[in-house]
Structure 1
Amino acid sequence: MSANELPVTGGPAAEPLHPSIHGDGPGGQDHGGEGVWARAWRTLRKNPVAIIGAVIVAVFVLVAVLAPVLAPYGGSELPGRAEVRPTMIPGPSAEYPLGLDRYGGDVLSKLIWGAQASLLIGVLSTLFGLTGGLLLGLLAGWFGKSVDFAIMRLVDLMLSVPSLLLAVSIAAIAGQSSMAVIVAIGVVQIPIFARLLRGSMLAQKGQDYVLAASALGLTRRSVTMSHVLPNSVGPVIVQATLSLATAVIEAAALSFLGLGGGEPSTAEWGRMLTAAQQELAVAPRLAILPGICIAVTALGFTLVGESLREALDPRNRTRR
């Protein structure tokens, strides 16, 4: 009898001790031979909410990547500067399908280039926060005791400050630039990932497969890195998809507050909202269009993240 199986005294075979060995969890195989991630993918393909979210995200990414091809003008170009008057901002026309802004820039081009700026900030800030959170969560979950206590108190301190206030403070200190925004949003996300990974690792360390692996002579480092950590990152990956939506919104908020750096006429959705405040009565489209872009993009990431969370939730397996 294998050391990883319970003794069978009759009747149906006993349940496997842990998914990493027999597949009843992240990265393993279920009793039907289908991996959890494969099962989640099959479930997502049948989920209309996930499909809608994936389509929104795919369109957003394609627009951002193909911005140099799709945009009629550059992100900082002002082709209609001569046509703009203090009391009149030209609306949609054949040359400018969505009209001009107060600086004479093509609104369509700025929306397209703004997608690229938002994607870059959202992805890089989430990766920054994910890397820092994984490092802190791994240290806390691996060493425990005093190291865990010190890291968690630091995390609690960071979580005690409202996320937007913390991001604004960091961006103001780091300076007005895109890199400052990325760092500010990433730092805000670090405690979320750290606490989530730490809790998931502690739950995994209490499983029987850890005791079985230790009894076989595996070191704590080997057990942690080869078994505990891979089976703990599932919730963190789901949270990362949800954090992308938050990052897009927070990036727009920081730019709206004037902390995004760059010229006021530079293409970025939050900066476009800021510039549109003075023209709400004359040209409300200048605020409505970037606002819709921000809301729809955040909705897409949220739908994908929530659908992935439900697909990976073990409590939902019996319902499929």
Structure 2
Amino acid sequence: MSALDAIAPPPSPTAEPTGEAGLGPWAAAWRRLRRNPSGIVGAVVVGLFVLVAVLAPLLAPYQPATGEWFGEVTPTAVPGPSADHVLGLDSFGSDLLTQLLYGARSSLVIGVVSTAVGLAVGAVLGILAGGLGGWVDTLVMRIVDILLSIPSLLLAVSVAAVLGRGQWSIMLAISAAQVPIFARLLRASLLAQRGQDYVVALRSLGLRQRRIVVGHMLPNSLGPVLVQATLVLATAVIEVAALSFLGLGAADPAVAEWGRMLVTAQDRLEQAPQLALYPGLAIAVTALGFTLLGEALREALDPRSDR
């Protein structure tokens, strides 16, 4: 056996009965993912959500929050579906379909950016704790434990209240709540890799700890983190709506947000229940799509899942 064979990470086991012998771990995971019905449903929902968010200016029939038809809204009635407005108007005389489409764009941008920031900061803390160990591990994990002791939504609300209203405040607030989750998960994955044969062989060859952690242990520890990032996106969509519902969203009323739509619908529930029904369904379906896709990814990346 050559030196390269000695330091190579052990291949992930694959299930022989499913015909996955000879496939690499990522190819086998992709094959399992394609066979998962819930994963396909989740991928379709997420794909539609992304398409709607990206193509909102092309799909929306009007500009958001124009209030152009405010004169048609009365204290006792809100116009429903019509030829000009497929879903009707909202309480401020704007097209409801346009508000929903632009609300998807707002949720996607905030969810993706906040998750990316939380993943980046959490990954740094996880690498420091799991890769270096010792007093660094103890210090980082005590900070993470303090953050984990605070409910995520409460932490996000506190950060957003301190920073003030705005989309950037919501992004930082949600990412702050996600940092300890990613940090602890990556640390656990790195600790599981430290005792592997290839890591021991790398140390015996005299490689530096930094190169071992970044070049070899980290790539083999990213699977659970990527799965968690997909699941966290579902939580991020809900938290974006929650913070907007609490009045911590964008200060500009022209920015469409699903949470704000729920707030403005409270006084009109008896007259026009669709004002709360449509954004509520959009939040629920989007979060469900990310959850189904994340669970399917978790099963696909687990080589022991033989179905």
The TM-score normalised by the length of structure 2 is 0.94
1:35-90 deviations in Å (ceiling 9; x for gaps): 11111111111111111101000100000000010001112222211211122211
- Identify the residue that residue 107 of structure 1 maps to in structure 2: 96
Q: Which moved more, 1:217-226 or 1:304-313?
A: 217-226
- Identify the residue that residue 232 of structure 1 maps to in structure 2: 221
Q: Is the 8 A contact 2:20 2:28 kept in 1?
A: no
Distance 2:102 2:59 in 1: 9
Alpha-carbon shift at residue 3 of structure 1 (Å):
5.0
Alpha-carbon shift at residue 143 of structure 1 (Å):
1.6
Indicate whether 1:221 and 2:210 are aligned: yes
**For 1:76, which of 53, 61, 65 is the aligned residue?**
65
Alpha-carbon shift at residue 103 of structure 1 (Å):
0.4
**For 1:23, which of 11, 14, 34 is the aligned residue?**
11
Map 1:157-196; keep pairs closer than 5 Å: 157-196=146-185
Distance 1:195 1:295 in 2: 28
Alpha-carbon shift at residue 277 of structure 1 (Å):
0.6
SS at structure 2 position matched to 1:101: coil
Distance 2:123 2:32 in 1: 27
Q: What amino acid sits opposite 1:24 in the alignment? A: S
Q: What amino acid sits opposite 2:149 in the alignment? A: S
- Identify the residue that residue 2 of structure 1 maps to in structure 2: 2
- Identify the residue that residue 246 of structure 1 maps to in structure 2: 235
1:171-192 deviations in Å (ceiling 9; x for gaps): 0000100000000000000000
Q: What amino acid sits opposite 1:69 in the alignment? A: L
What is the Cα-based RMSD across aligned positions, in Å?
1.8
Q: Is the 8 A contact 2:10 2:198 kept in 1?
A: no
Indicate whether 1:49 and 2:38 are aligned: yes
1:105-132 deviations in Å (ceiling 9; x for gaps): 1000000000000000100000010001
Map 1:89-168; keep pairs closer than 5 Å: 89-168=78-157
Aligned in 2, Cα 1:279/1:266: closer, same or farther, shift over 3 Å? farther
Mind listing any 5+ residue stretches in structure 2 that lack a counterpart? none
1:208-229 deviations in Å (ceiling 9; x for gaps): 2111111122111111111111
**For 2:196, which of 207, 231, 248 is the aligned residue?**
207
Highest RCO, 1 vs 2 (Cα 8 Å, sep ≥ 6): 2
- Identify the residue that residue 11 of structure 1 maps to in structure 2: none
SS at structure 1 position matched to 2:79: coil
Indicate whether 1:262 and 2:231 are aligned: no
Mind listing any 5+ residue stretches in structure 1 that lack a counterpart? 6-16
Indicate whether 1:287 and 2:254 are aligned: no
Alpha-carbon shift at residue 32 of structure 1 (Å):
3.5
Task: Tell me how many residue pairs correspond in the alignment.
Answer: 303
Alpha-carbon shift at residue 314 of structure 1 (Å):
2.7
Q: What amino acid sits opposite 2:197 in the alignment? A: D
1:92-114 deviations in Å (ceiling 9; x for gaps): 11111111111001000000000
Q: Is the 8 A contact 1:111 1:269 kept in 2?
A: yes
Map 1:302-317; keep pairs closer than 5 Å: 302-316=291-305
Distance 2:124 2:205 in 1: 27
Alpha-carbon shift at residue 136 of structure 1 (Å):
0.5
Q: Which moved more, 1:195-204 or 1:262-271?
A: 262-271
SS at structure 1 position matched to 2:221: coil
The TM-score normalised by the length of structure 1 is 0.91
Distance 1:99 1:262 in 2: 25
